[in-house]
Amino acid sequence: MSAPRLAFTHTFTPGADPAAKSERTLLLLHGTGGNEHDLVPLGRTLAPGANLLSPRGSVLENGMPRFFRRLAEGVFDEADLRRRAADLADFVAEAAEHYRFDPARVTAVGYSNGANIASAVLLLRPGTLRGAVLFRAMVPLVPDPLPSTDARVLISNGRVDPIVPLAETERLASLLRAAGAGVDVLLQPAGHQLTQADLTAAQAWLRGESVLSS
């Protein structure tokens, strides 16, 4: 199947049974400087049978791909963020039609900048994502009014992350819960880099197993 003319350079890997149209799709969203290939091995590890849809961020910062502009570390360009979140939500819907996966069973797996754009999609375009695994995430914006969503969300952040303060983790969890999401929070003994504990917890969570909030 030829690649569609969609808004993002991307890869798509069908799940174990391409005929199973109700199969889960993981939307893989890389961090700053990553690309559409970076999280594919992670996606295969987290959910071996899932479809994997992995776009490349279309914003460049000093030559490094991102999903939206920032004005400084931790200071986001909200107008650009809103536009890029809408673009990503549209891309997911168009990709679902093209690749014939169930748009109601899309779970984002995002790291850092990718986690932040996933949070923005949850808050700005509810219904696009059934759930999200957010690694090293912070509050992207606070929409007014808040949307209504029943998405399931796992936030796995580091206790000693120099980029994401601990207070940001609770702010994000509280914001998503106020919008109606079911949120689990894990604080890992780590900084901004992912650890095996992040992956083990995400695997269990994606299987529907409970993880202890910390």
Q: For 64-103, what is each residue's pLDDT tens digit?
A: 999 999 988 888 999 999 999 999 999 999 999 999 999 9
Residue 211 inside a domain? The answer is no
Give me the pLDDT at residue 72, please.
85
189 within some domain? yes
The CATH number of the domain holding residue 198 is 3.40.50.1820
* 20 has a pLDDT exceeding 80: no
The catalytically annotated residue of 77, 80, 98, 192 is: 192
- The enclosing H or E element of 153 equals strand 152-158
Query: Residue 172 — pLDDT band, cuts 50, 70, 90?
Result: very high
Is residue 22 a part of any domain in this protein? yes
38 assigned to some structural domain: yes
For residue 145, whether the previous peptide bond is cis, meaning omega lies within 30 degrees of 0, is yes
- Residue 11: which of 45, 46, 44 has the closest Cα? 44
| Residue-level pLDDT at 18 | 58
* pLDDT for the residue numbered 5: 62
Question: Hunting for tokens 């007014």 — which residue is that?
Answer: 144
Q: Name the least confident of 20-34, 108-122, 161-175.
A: 20-34
Assign 3-class secondary structure to 36-50: CCCCHHHHHHHCCCC
pTM exceeds 0.75 for this model: yes
* Residue 63: inside a domain: yes
- Res 2: pLDDT: 44
* Pair of tokens at residue 174: 């509280």
Catalytic residue among 112, 119, 156, 184: 112
Q: Are 36 and 55 in contact (CB under 8 A)?
A: yes
Beta-carbon contacts of residue 19 (< 8 Å; ≥ 6 apart): none
Poorest-confidence range of 11-25, 101-115, 126-140, 178-192?
A: 11-25
Q: Which helix (H) or strand (E) holds 59?
A: strand 59-61
Residue 101 lies in a domain: yes
Q: Does the pLDDT at position 212 exceed 80?
A: no
Q: Do the domain assignments include residue 115?
A: yes
Instruction: Report pLDDT digits (tens) over 52-62.
Output: 999 999 999 99
Which region, left, alpha or beta, applies to residue 205 given φ > 0 means left and ψ of -120 to 50 means alpha?
alpha
Residue 23 confidence (pLDDT): 82
Alpha helices in the chain (DSSP H): 40-46, 78-99, 113-124, 166-178, 196-206
Q: Which of 30, 156, 161, 198 is catalytic?
A: 161
181 pLDDT exceeds 60?
Answer: yes
Domain count, the chain: 1
Q: Tell me the average pLDDT across 155-160.
A: 97
Query: Which of 9-13, 124-128, 192-196, 208-212 has the weakest average pLDDT?
Result: 208-212
Is 161 catalytic? The answer is yes
Is pLDDT above 60 for 3?
Answer: no
Range of the domain at 175: 10-206
Q: Would 3 be classed as within a structural domain?
A: no
pLDDT by residue (tens digit) across 23-39? 899 999 999 999 999 99
